[in-house]
Amino acid sequence: MNPTMQAVSVIVDNLQAELNRLKKLIKANTAEDDPIDPKDPRNKSGVNLTPRGVEIVFRYFDTKKTRHAVKELMGIPFGAADYRYQQWLKAGGKDRIKQPLQ
């Protein structure tokens, strides 16, 4: 296989992986299991979480996701996930007032 075909193959594989991820989200939305896309660009501004991203992190903690799971889902450092966990506890944990997702 020549280099151009290899590059095209890599691009197609990446697109297929993204389509599979989106299909899982659509199934989750219909099943009400996990309607939140942690990789949505609205969740971050550069390396920082937006208010929407913080609320999504809090909602993951509401569903008993661990700090390690949130770290992986949101693509944030463990220290940031731990900080948000402490903030979630201060806000009342699962009994906190949920904020709307914009």
CA distance 7 to 22: 23
Q: Which of 58, 59, 91, 57 is nearest to 71 (CA)?
A: 57
Q: Is the pLDDT of residue 42 over 80?
A: yes
Q: How far apart are CA 45 and CA 15, in angstroms?
A: 24
- Kindly tell me the burial class for residue 43, based on how many C-beta atoms sit within 10 Å of its own C-beta (0-12, 13-18, 19 or more): buried
Q: Which of 99, 22, 3, 6 is nearest to 53 (CA)?
A: 99
Asked if pLDDT for residue 93 goes beyond 70, the answer is yes
Q: What is the pTM of this model?
A: 0.66
pLDDT value at residue 101? 82
